[in-house]
Structure 1
Amino acid sequence: MPVTYGIVGTGWITDSWISAASQSGKWELVAIYSRDQEKGNDFGSKHKCSTVYTSLDQFASNNAMQAVYIASPNSLHYEQAKQMLEAHKHVILEKPATSTVAELDDLFRIAKQNRVTLIEAFRHTQEANFKLLERTANQEKRLGPIYGASFQYASYSSRYNNVLNGETPNIFSLDFAGGSLVDIGVYPVTFAVALFGAPKSQTYVPFICRTGVDGGGVIILHYDTFGVQINQSKSYTSTAPCEIYGEKGTITINATTDISTIKHWNPQTKETTELAGSYKTVQKPFVNMEEEATEFARIIQEDDTAAAGELEDLSRAVLNVTQELRRQNGILYPADKAERETTSETLKRVILPV
């Protein structure tokens, strides 16, 4: 039986998820939440779902719904996911899952308490070619000791035009927990952490937009014996490939998402070998989410706590990195400020006499 689910968020990424979930045959859409009834009805009509709510409380109480896919503005993720988990719904939460590690820890605690599954939707780490790359990067015969890596995801956003025109789109808003790092920079950061584990430390030199968030910049992840350079941005475009440098060769990948080529260059023979398997193309504006939809349904249906635990560890490690990079550069969200105020009040109660 498919996993019955509802959606929160009616943007283009939700269209992609619904399409991919349908193609996988593992999911059935049964409910939609939208703040606007007319918009919700239009979205439901497009996806043949007539059950539309404008109340999250009513939405969460739908007993026919086993899971919820959340793709709302970043700053709303924590509260919405918390409500769904407390209603005993599995949650697929678009990246970034939350603004802070404290919020993420709380959500995973609630999920375990209610015996449901929480998964952050890192679609690219579920691609078949990424899994092949993961195996390749750990093969001594292919790379030998790793000396470094360079990963890219820099793509000029049409919404940056709005920023230049004096507007503040949600994705470029501090109040909505936006910025390039958490929107697309998280892809190459996750790419690195999934391949090499959590770094020892990290640094970031960002370009700060007029709105106070980062428009892009260069990240260095520091490992014991090598570094990873990441170039990411929503305010400029890079056409450079991604590379992993080893003693026994160099791996070149076309991108950190939608991997279609994985080439190994052998420094001894000077030969290049294509390692990637077949790649599924998806008609734009959709993106490939079928592999993640299939795997996430399997984890839920089989109650695969081991696989869910690995994804939890990845989410926490990635958020530790991005949170630190933001805070290094004074990019603070409402959740950061609330966390600091709570800590300050706690210290006052401990230090000051009654």
Structure 2
Amino acid sequence: MNYGVIGTSDITIRFIESAQETTDFNLTSVYSRSYDKAKQFADRFNALAVYTDLNEMANSDQVDIVYIASPNSLHFEQVKLFLRHKKHVICEKPIFSNLYEWQAAFQLADENGVFLFEAARNIHAPNFKRLKENVHRIGKIRSAVLSYMKYSSRYDLVLKGEEPNIFSLKFSGGALVDLGVYPIFAAVSLFGVPKKVTYFPVIIATGVDGSGTLILEYDGFVCTILCSKIVNADLPCEIHGEAGTIAFNHIAPPTKIEYKDRLTGGTEELAIPQKELDMVYEIEAFKEIIENQDRERYEELGRISEAVLRITEEARRQNGIVFGVER
């Protein structure tokens, strides 16, 4: 399967390196607004085609699927372009700015007989699947705390009075949609769609949430999500049940998972070895869906993706966080 990439950032490098771990996934094309940057990137990874025009890339018969890692606000128009040219699309999270874009794009994918995926790598990792398989052991769930708090070097630019994309309303940025989506994807995958969503953001100078606490209410328990791009924290994630607790070290994805039995006091390590280039698992999952035309699996991923976007949109609405594409 021949693929192209849009964007030349670190996440694109990680995607390409992960794709190299799979079979039948061949990089042919690189797009950047800068020819020199695209050419340098293509040479590094032995891609033959370089583009500065997205229409030319979308028309290429050397691209079966495209990976999009551009600024968030650009995703919708770029995704639509490739779907209209009957290319499968993997779009980096957050896939879109709002539900209107999500619904329009997924309808367009169906109309053109292609697949559209959100690159939420953590829910495809083997250790997340281990977590999901074992969560029943803790009995009736009574609470959960999931966190992803990592200081962004680009926040230094904000402190200097600048507005980098990830901290800009114009580019649909902010902590919740950038890092918070990882624990939200985990929560929806593990517990389903919450009954109620409440968000308490810390708004920074650029108008986005630099940090925040998201409360997801379920029947009988609350899931608290902590996210930040302006502080660091090494908090473990925990799910608490009447029969025990599952604790894991990271949300994207876990590498250590410990089950603690409340009655016996015993502990059990549940994690298994997994590849450091963990994006390989989402790539393999998407490739299998395409090859097998697995609509059931595809639609389940779509339901999760839609629910996550519905949560972030509601959280923003409560706090008057309006992206540029919505003005």
Residue 292 (structure 1) aligned with residue 287 (structure 2): no
Q: Which has the higher Rg, Structure 1 or Structure 2?
A: 1
Task: Measure the CA separation in 1 of the matches of 2:93 and 2:221.
Answer: 27
Quote the RMSD (CA, aligned, Å).
Answer: 0.9
Task: Measure the CA separation in 1 of the matches of 2:295 and 2:20.
Answer: 24
Residue 328 (structure 1) aligned with residue 326 (structure 2): no
Residue 217 (structure 1) aligned with residue 212 (structure 2): yes
- 3-state SS of paired residue (2:212): strand
Q: Tell me if the contact between 2:58 and 2:82 (Cα under 8 Å) persists in the aligned partners.
A: yes
Give the match for residue 264 of structure 1. Answer: 259
Change (3 A) 1:50 1:64: closer
Task: Measure the CA separation in 2 of the matches of 1:79 and 1:280.
Answer: 33
Give the CA deviation at 1:19: 0.6
Task: Measure the CA separation in 1 of the matches of 2:24 and 2:156.
Answer: 39
Give the CA deviation at 1:178: 0.5
Residue 133 (structure 1) aligned with residue 131 (structure 2): yes
Amino acid at match of 1:334: G
Give the match for residue 117 of structure 1. Answer: 115
Q: Which runs of 5+ in 2 are unaligned?
A: none
Q: Tell me if the contact between 1:259 and 1:279 (Cα under 8 Å) persists in the aligned partners.
A: no
Deviations along 1:101-159, one digit per CA (max 9) or x if unpaired, are 0100000000000000000001000000101111112x2xx111100100010011111
Q: Tell me if the contact between 1:153 and 1:184 (Cα under 8 Å) persists in the aligned partners.
A: yes
Give the match for residue 344 of structure 1. Answer: none
Task: Measure the CA separation in 2 of the matches of 1:152 and 1:11.
Answer: 25
- 3-state SS of paired residue (1:136): helix
How many aligned residue pairs are there? 327
Question: Percent same amino acid at aligned positions?
Answer: 45
Task: Measure the CA separation in 1 of the matches of 2:276 and 2:172.
Answer: 31
Deviations along 1:216-244, one digit per CA (max 9) or x if unpaired, are 11111011111001111000111110000
Task: Measure the CA separation in 1 of the matches of 2:33 and 2:182.
Answer: 29
- 3-state SS of paired residue (2:151): coil
5 Å matches for 1:1-354?
A: 3-137=1-135, 139=136, 142-282=137-277, 288-337=278-327
Give the match for residue 345 of structure 1. Answer: none
Amino acid at match of 1:223: Y
Give the CA deviation at 1:213: 0.4
Give the CA deviation at 1:26: 3.5
Task: Measure the CA separation in 1 of the matches of 2:55 and 2:6.
Answer: 12
Amino acid at match of 2:236: P
- 3-state SS of paired residue (1:84): helix
Q: Which runs of 5+ in 1 are unaligned?
A: 283-287, 338-354
- 3-state SS of paired residue (1:278): coil
Q: Tell me if the contact between 1:127 and 1:258 (Cα under 8 Å) persists in the aligned partners.
A: yes
Q: Tell me if the contact between 2:123 and 2:253 (Cα under 8 Å) persists in the aligned partners.
A: no
- 3-state SS of paired residue (2:20): helix
Amino acid at match of 1:143: I
Give the CA deviation at 1:334: 2.1
Deviates more, 1:47-56 or 1:80-89: 47-56
Q: Tell me if the contact between 1:5 and 1:66 (Cα under 8 Å) persists in the aligned partners.
A: yes
Task: Measure the CA separation in 1 of the matches of 2:159 and 2:97.
Answer: 25
Give the CA deviation at 1:33: 1.2
Q: Tell me if the contact between 1:155 and 1:235 (Cα under 8 Å) persists in the aligned partners.
A: yes
- 3-state SS of paired residue (1:24): coil
Give the CA deviation at 1:51: 0.5
TM-score by length of 1: 0.91
Task: Measure the CA separation in 2 of the matches of 1:260 and 1:63.
Answer: 39
TM-score by length of 2: 0.98
- 3-state SS of paired residue (1:58): helix
Q: Tell me if the contact between 1:26 and 1:297 (Cα under 8 Å) persists in the aligned partners.
A: no
Task: Measure the CA separation in 1 of the matches of 2:304 and 2:276.
Answer: 26
Give the CA deviation at 1:50: 2.5
